[in-house]
Amino acid sequence: MEYDMVIYESEDARNRDPSDTRRFDASCESLKAAGIVVGRVMCTSPADLPEGEASDIVAEHGMGALPLAMYQAVPISIGEYPSDQDLADFLDAPDGTLSVNKQGPPAMGNDIMPACACGNRTR
């Protein structure tokens, strides 16, 4: 199954900040209830990561780079779980799903361009 967001984690990473791990677990459950599933991969060694940017990051920084959040194969957080704001913004979570509501621009995979302030100016 393909996921927009995948979290690579380890037992050491989960134990590093137990309160944030609990927050992230609860956020994933809330997202799942809203029909948004975050892929989670428990890693015991660098070999558990697929080839690509995630494995390159762990090769460079070691297993301490976990948890590692990848959104559409682009890293969005290294060494910590993504915040609820990141989850809401990147995954377009419905308001009320997480502890915060979506504030940021649409996710990277869409075709909506950001507003441009480069038009004609009058002096």
- 100 domain-assigned: no
Residue-number span of the structural domain to which 23 is assigned:
5-91
What would the pLDDT profile of 42-57 be if each residue is shown by its tens digit?
999 999 999 999 999 9
pLDDT, one tens digit per residue, over 77-119 is: 999 999 999 999 999 999 999 999 999 765 555 444 444 444 4
Residue 101 lies in a domain: no
When divided into structural domains, the chain yields a total of 1
User: Cα–Cα distance between 40 and 78 in angstroms, integer?
Assistant: 14
Domain assignment present for 51: yes
Q: Is the residue at 60 inside a domain? A: yes
Asked if residue 123 is part of any domain, the answer here is no
Secondary structure of 6-31 in HEC code, one letter for each residue? EEEECHHHHHHCHHHHHHHHHHHHHH
Task: Look up the CATH number of the domain holding residue 68.
Answer: 3.40.30.10
**Domain assignment present for 75:** yes
Query: For residue 20, what are the contacts with CB-CB under 8 A and spacing of at least 6?
Result: 80, 81
